């Protein structure tokens, strides 16, 4: 469990990121590239982007294991939200921070020999790492960045509306299915128990495209507080435009959205309605039609009906109709 402790000043200083964070998306996409989870959303991107990853991507995967802690210095906090801003901050990382973060990482896994020069702050090692980040981003993320930016822009607009409607407390309650807000503490699901005391610094909320499952934050609570959390996705986002639009043409826009919502994870009819911003009767009707076509299955789960996607539905989402 992650517990974030607020003061009145922290609520006033909480803000939502105005654009995607290239460094966070780079780091989190490395998890998605190597894990066989989130197949509905990320499988097509993984098949397309994986073969394009440059050879020096291995420098990044040395610092970003398949699970668990990744070096904090890979996601510096910057005033600007461009890749250039992040790379410049990475190149200026103090030697003490490099050494400290690598020491934490070495406590969980054996590090390759090249990281010794990085821990010592040698310019050539830091420059090579920054170059590896840039090359990976350009090969694997840049072709999709416009879509990612648009998706996160819509999420920010939705949350801005929540602020206007119910204040920051409404936003904090809506951040994640595990979020529990009881002033002055926000509790969230987390792999380990961690306390984050904001102490008047405020909190930067960062909706992330490549974050999946639980939210994440920096290991070092003394650094500028940030909370990175996943957003809901539309399967097929990485497909060519013609493929992405063909599913809506085949099924209809509402039914395609319902199929995509069930494809995210098994869910009740009420949850389908919430994910797709439709009414409960509409969600039930569309789920029934998809079940009749063999794209979803439904079973009684207490007083609710739980819907799951079938292999046929997964295939349709992954590639669109052939």
12-33 pLDDT tens trace: 999 999 889 999 999 999 999 9
Q: Nearest-CA neighbor of 128 among 61, 60, 31, 53? A: 60
Backbone angles phi, psi at 46, to 5 degrees: -60, -40
Query: 264-303, pLDDT tens digit by residue?
Result: 778 899 888 877 767 888 889 999 999 999 999 999 988 8
Strands (E), the chain: 2-5, 15-16, 180-182, 185-188, 194-197, 204-208, 226-230, 267-268, 296-301, 304-309
Q: Comparing 72 with 235, which gets the higher pLDDT?
A: 72
Cβ count near 142 (within 10 Å): 14
3 state DSSP class of 297: strand
Can you tell me the distance from the alpha carbon of 189 to that of 179, in angstroms, rounded to the nearest whole number?
Answer: 7
Q: Comparing 223 with 129, which gets the higher pLDDT?
A: 129
Name residues whose C-beta falls within 8 Å of residue 80's C-beta, 6 or more positions apart in sequence. none
Residues recorded for the chain: 322
Tokens read off for 75: 């996601």
For residue 319, the model assigns a pLDDT of: 60
Q: Comparing 25 with 246, which gets the higher pLDDT?
A: 25
Name residues whose C-beta falls within 8 Å of residue 227's C-beta, 6 or more positions apart in sequence. 4, 175, 188, 203, 204, 205, 206, 215, 216, 217
Q: Nearest-CA neighbor of 204 among 214, 194, 217? A: 217
Tokens read off for 228: 């990175």
């Amino acid at each position: 469990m992650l517990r974030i402790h607020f003061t009145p000043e922290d609520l006033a200083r909480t803000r939502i990121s105005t654009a995607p964070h290239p460094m966070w998306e780079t780091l989190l996409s490395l998890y998605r590239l190597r894990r066989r989870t989130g197949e509905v959303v990320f499988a097509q991107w993984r098949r397309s982007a994986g073969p394009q990853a440059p050879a020096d991507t291995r420098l990044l995967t040395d610092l970003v294991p398949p699970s668990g802690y990744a070096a904090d210095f890979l996601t510096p906090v910057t005033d600007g939200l461009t890749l250039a801003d992040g790379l410049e901050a990475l190149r200026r990382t103090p030697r003490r921070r490099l050494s400290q973060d690598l020491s934490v990482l070495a406590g969980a896994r054996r590090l390759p020999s090249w990281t010794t020069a990085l821990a010592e702050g040698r310019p050539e090692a830091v420059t090579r790492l920054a170059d590896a980040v840039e090359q990976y981003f350009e090969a694997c993320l840049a072709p999709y960045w416009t879509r990612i930016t648009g998706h996160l822009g819509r999420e920010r607009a939705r949350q801005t509306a929540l602020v206007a409607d119910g204040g920051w407390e409404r936003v904090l309650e809506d951040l994640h299915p595990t979020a529990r807000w009881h002033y002055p503490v926000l509790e969230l699901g987390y792999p380990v128990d961690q306390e984050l005391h904001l102490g008047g610094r405020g909190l930067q909320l960062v909706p992330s495209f490549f974050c999946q499952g639980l939210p994440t934050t920096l290991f070092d609570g003394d650094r500028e507080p940030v909370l990175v959390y996943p957003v809901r996705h539309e399967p097929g986002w990485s497909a060519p435009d013609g493929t992405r639009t063909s599913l809506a043409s085949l099924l209809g826009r509402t039914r395609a959205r319902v199929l995509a919502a069930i494809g995210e994870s098994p869910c009740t009819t009420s949850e389908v309605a919430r994910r797709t911003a439709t009414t409960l009767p509409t969600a039930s009707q569309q789920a029934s039609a998809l079940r009749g076509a063999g794209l979803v299955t439904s079973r009684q789960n207490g007083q609710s009906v739980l819907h799951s996607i079938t292999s046929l539905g997964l295939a349709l989402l992954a590639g669109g109709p052939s």
